[in-house]
Structure 1
Amino acid sequence: MPTANPLSKIIVLATVLAAGFLLIILSCALFDNWLPLLVVGLFLIAPLPNAICEKYAANDDFMQESSGNAVIDFGRYITGILVVSGLALPCALAHSRVIGLPALFMSITGGLLVYGTIITFTMFFNETEEF
């Protein structure tokens, strides 16, 4: 089975990322309410705690335990909080009737596309070092 070259992966990821941003911007512009745009910020910073904690844990050889690493677990915990907040914010806005249901669905779908693209990009281009 032939593997796709990195350029085609980047093109597909860029297309999906653009579709996610388009859905979020349309959820704001079509209904003249720009509060769902906050979802973009939450989903863009969501992978950062995980990446920072993995870099920090990789520098410390003494903390590598077979049962797990507290620093990596903390990064995953904060990342999980940010992802759930990105999903809950449009739900809370829709529940309080600040945005409508179409804006809710467009915002959540666009946010998941943006976050999924970021995670997929890091998985595709994450090079592991082998000794």
Structure 2
Amino acid sequence: MFSSSILLQILACAIYGNWWPMLSALMYVVVPMPCMFFGGGSTQFLISRDGGGWIDAAKFLTGASTVGSLAIPIILRHAGMIETGAMLIEFTSFFIFICTVMCFHRASLDDDW
């Protein structure tokens, strides 16, 4: 699923001959970083009510990078730097990426694996 998301990222750029949509691919690298640095590689801290400075910072950074993944194509389309089709392909790529993250989260919660 992740590779199809990256493929859609590349297609959004290659079909329209404009590589500005790859900016949102940078956010795909940023999204899992709070889990790796502050959550110990687990996504369980995202649904816990336990707080603390680092846990709250990780939740904030995860949310900000997720919103940034959606905002970058919208801003680029509004500025006229990309076409509407490229923006829609970017949204599809983002949806597939989020589904991948949710599947990983679900699999990491199950102890049967």
Please state how far the C-alpha of 1:99 moved relative to its aligned partner: 0.3
Aligned residue pairs, count? 104
RMSD of equivalent CA atoms: 2.3
Confirm or deny that 1:78 pairs with 2:31: no
The TM-score, its normalising length taken from structure 2, stands at 0.77
Distance in 1, matches of 2:50 and 2:105, equals 25
2:13 aligned with 1:28: yes
Q: Does 2:110 match 1:118?
A: no
1:40 paired residue among 11, 22, 25: 25
Q: Which structure 1 segments of 5+ residues have no match?
A: 1-15, 56-65
Structure having the higher Rg: 1
Segments of structure 2 that go 5 or more residues without pairing to the other structure are 41-48
- d(CA) in 1 for partners of 2:38, 2:91: 27
CA distance 1:67–1:115, shift in 2 (3 Å): closer
Identity %: 27
Q: How far has the Cα of 1:123 moved from its partner?
A: 3.5
Which residue matches 2:2? 17
